[in-house]
Amino acid sequence: MLREGFNDVLDWLALGVLLFTGFAFGDALLRREDAFRAADKQTKPFWLIILGLAVVVNVFEFFFLVVIGLIAAIVYIVDVRPAIKSLPGGGRGGKRRGSSSDGPYGPFNGGR
């Protein structure tokens, strides 16, 4: 009976890790490519590959690799995501706000 309870806890923990890595992957998927470069982090494809592998590993429950995937997701959520969110627009895709004369780093004023 104790073993069944422990297995239930592990199942819930595995589901939580899967949801966490899935959230990290989805968040990285929604961010703009240039936001990763602007935040001086690894590229978007790098994070999509790492986090995508973390999700796949969690689905198949390879324990040692699950731990590595969890660490990658934690690094993304704790370090990369806040850096990207601090950029103007939060690093999300979609329409840019501002003037048509705005450059990638702000308004272009012709050197004035």
Give yes or no for residue 103 having a pLDDT over 60: yes
Tokens (6 digits) for 65: 């690799």
SS3 label, residue 94: coil
Mean pLDDT of all residues in 90-97: 61
CA distances from 15 to 19, 29, 55, 58 (A): 6, 21, 11, 9
Q: 104: pLDDT confidence band, cut at 50, 70 and 90?
A: low
Instruction: Report the distance separating Cα 107 and Cα 74, nearest Å.
Output: 35
Give yes or no for residue 76 having a pLDDT over 90: yes
Q: 111: pLDDT confidence band, cut at 50, 70 and 90?
A: low
Mean pLDDT of all residues in 73-95: 84
For 18-43, what is each residue's pLDDT tens digit? 999 999 999 999 999 999 989 999 99
Q: Residue 37: left if φ>0, alpha if ψ -120 to 50, beta else—which one? A: alpha
Instruction: Report the distance separating Cα 81 and Cα 28, nearest Å.
Output: 8
pLDDT for position 62 = 76
pLDDT for position 45 = 94
pTM exceeds 0.75: no
